[in-house]
């Protein structure tokens, strides 16, 4: 009986001593990590959450903390009870969870290794005695966090709001005609961290406009489009011909069309059947069959799909597939039509043909917004250019909105591609002028608003 008590005591000791030493090491190290609440190092679960937050690995820290709390009862269980099936099942579950938490703990320590600039082989010491490297890093005067270390491309991306003067003053009055956009901010939650994706984008697009949406990598083009069409709502007022896109979304969504980069079309149907099926889903159910068939015929004729309409979709070329994708959206009575790289993978002649069709659609009084990475071959067909740029805080903002000619003059560039290069970061081969141009456009608009008010 005495041996059983001794065995249980030693088992508990082996659990709690490393636990206490790890807490001590974390508490000592917390001064170098600039923790605001160092006492969290002694609180089960919360200590890992705080550790992960200090290393910008919030999710990993919370997972480790939650599993640590679950493991606490295992430290006081009597191994002599293994004959009990319930206890055995508990220990098996603990083993599985230990494997999971082992992976996340390794991730945390590798981040710590990067922060202090020590060799990765330190992870071996962490695996066998995780409190020891913490004590060494905490007590060793020569071990200090590296200045200005960033843990990846997006270490601080979007964690701070934009600060450009004049942006808040450029709020347009909501128009009853066309597309009016007043996007204050679009944020996302990266676990415990708030990230700003877009901020201060205000513009007014008249009906009958073909608009090019430009921006460098990560500038928020897709995020902006998703906010426009109501797919991902932002803190914004967006009105389409007087109707609130967000508040009246159930009605307005039938007036908005979106064509993604990929052709989401069944290959074993004919072209006519494909477009007709889309019409059944997109058009008003009260319309007669004759009216629906006429609309389908008109759209197919506009996009040059009438010839060969009885052929299988799978047999069509890339350019024809893009036109079919456009037709599937266009059969609805749209007011706003958004396309993400409709010319992707197409040669210049076919791409030009696609954009010529889009020009004709805009000329019918619709607003067509296009994202394209080859803008110069078709820029003459466009009325407006929207340029988004990522500022120093990695938040997407409006760097320009106006005609292509005004864009060239504003940026001092002869081409649209040159404009994009001017806002791209230097690491991406660009000029790194995003903040300068965002600020300049914001101030120019603010000055224009002051002149307009003074004239009234």
Average pLDDT over residues 225-233: 91
Does a structural domain hold residue 240?
yes
- What's the CATH code of the domain at 395? 3.40.50.300
Under the banding of pLDDT at 50, 70 and 90, the label for residue 400 is: very high
pLDDT per position as a tens digit, 306-327 = 787 777 877 777 777 877 888 8
The pLDDT of residue 190 is above 80? no
Kindly tell me if the per-residue pLDDT of 405 is higher than 90: yes
Residue with tokens 């690995």: 57
Q: Does residue 144 sit within a domain?
A: no
Residues 297 and 335 in one domain: yes
What pLDDT is stored for residue 353 in this prediction?
83
Q: What's the rounded Cα separation, in Å, for the pair 54 and 196?
A: 20
**Domain's final residue, options 139, 156, 184:** 139
The pLDDT value recorded for residue 453 is 45
Question: What's the pTM?
Answer: 0.69
> What range does the domain containing 94 cover?
2-139
Mean pLDDT (whole number) for 228-253: 91
Torsion of CA 6, 12, 13, 14, to 10 degrees: 110
The answer to whether residues 118 and 207 belong to one domain is no
Supply the pLDDT for residue 413. Answer: 93
Q: Distance between CA 48 and CA 130 in Å, rounded?
A: 13
Whether residues 275 and 334 fall in one domain: yes
DSSP 160: S
Q: In this structure, are 234 and 110 located in the same domain?
A: no
Query: 147 in a domain, yes or no?
Result: no
Whether residues 243 and 293 share a domain: the answer is yes
Per the listing, tokens 């942006």 go with 167
Within a domain: residue 148?
no
What DSSP line would sit under 260-287, residue for residue?
-SS----TTSBHHHHHHHHHHHHS-TTS
Q: Are residues 216 and 133 in the same domain?
A: no
Helix (H, G, I), strand (E, B) or coil at 202: strand
Q: Is the pLDDT of residue 81 over 70?
A: no
Mark whether 183 and 82 lie in a shared domain. no
Residue 23 domain flag: yes
Sheet holding 179-190, edge to edge: 243-244, 235-240, 179-190, 193-205, 396-402, 384-390, 210-215, 367-371, 336-340, 256-259
- pLDDT above 90 (res 253): no
Q: Is residue 187 part of a domain?
A: yes
Mean pLDDT of all residues belonging to the chain: 81
Scored b (16 or more CB within 10 A) or e, 142-180 reads eeebeeeeeeeeeeebbbeebebebbeebeeeeeeebbb
Domain shared by 65 and 112, yes or no: yes
Q: Indicate whether 90 and 223 sit together in one domain.
A: no
Residues 99, 232 share a domain: no
Determine the Cα–Cα distance for residues 182 and 368; give it in Å rounded to an integer: 18
Residues 40 and 116 reside in one and the same domain: yes
Asked if 313 contacts 265 with a C-beta cutoff of 8 angstroms, the reply is yes
């Amino acid at each position: 009986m005495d041996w059983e008590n001794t065995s249980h005591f030693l088992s508990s000791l082996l659990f709690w001593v490393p636990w206490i030493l790890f807490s001590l090491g974390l508490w000592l190290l917390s001064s170098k990590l600039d923790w605001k609440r160092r006492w969290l190092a002694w609180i089960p679960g919360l200590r890992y959450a705080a550790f992960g937050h200090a290393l910008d690995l919030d999710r990993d820290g919370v997972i480790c903390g939650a599993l640590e709390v679950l493991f606490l009862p295992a430290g006081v269980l009597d191994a002599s009870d293994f004959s009990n099936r319930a206890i055995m099942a508990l220990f098996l579950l603990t083993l599985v969870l230990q494997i999971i938490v082992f992976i996340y703990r390794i991730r945390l320590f590798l981040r710590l290794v990067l922060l202090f600039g020590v060799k990765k082989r330190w992870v071996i010491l962490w695996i066998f005695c995780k409190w020891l490297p913490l004590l060494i890093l905490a007590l060793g005067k020569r071990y200090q966090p590296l200045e200005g270390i960033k843990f990846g491309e997006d270490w601080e991306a979007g964690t701070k709001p934009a600060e450009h003067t004049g942006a808040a003053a450029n709020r347009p009055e909501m128009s009853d005609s066309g597309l009016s956009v007043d996007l204050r901010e679009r944020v996302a939650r990266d676990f415990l961290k708030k990230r700003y994706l877009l901020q201060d984008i205000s513009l007014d697009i008249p009906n009958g406009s073909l608009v090019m949406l430009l921006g460098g990598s990560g500038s928020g083009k897709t995020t902006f489009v998703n906010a426009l069409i109501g797919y991902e709502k932002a803190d914004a007022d967006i009105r389409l011909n007087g109707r609130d896109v967000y508040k009246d979304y159930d009605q307005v969504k039938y007036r908005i069309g979106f064509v993604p980069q990929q052709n989401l079309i069944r290959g074993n149907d004919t072209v006519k059947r494909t477009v007709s099926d889309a019409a059944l889903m997109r058009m008003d159910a009260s319309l007669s069959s004759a009216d629906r068939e006429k609309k389908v015929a008109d759209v197919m004729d506009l996009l040059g799909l009438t010839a060969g309409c009885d052929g299988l979709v799978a047999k069509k070329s890339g350019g024809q597939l893009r036109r079919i994708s456009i037709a599937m959206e266009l059969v609805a009575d749209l007011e706003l039509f958004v396309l993400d790289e409709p010319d992707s993978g197409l040669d210049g002649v076919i791409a030009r043909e696609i954009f010529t069709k889009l020009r004709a659609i805009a000329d019918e009084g619709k607003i067509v917004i296009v994202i394209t990475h080859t803008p110069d071959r078709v820029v003459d067909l466009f009325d407006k250019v929207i340029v988004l740029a990522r500022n120093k805080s990695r938040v997407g903002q409006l760097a320009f909105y106006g005609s292509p000619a005004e864009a060239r003059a504003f940026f001092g560039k002869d081409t649209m591609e040159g404009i994009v290069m001017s806002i791209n970061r230097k690491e991406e081969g660009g000029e790194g002028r995003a903040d300068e141009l965002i600020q300049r456009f914001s101030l120019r608009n603010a000055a224009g608003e002051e002149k307009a008010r003074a004239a009234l």
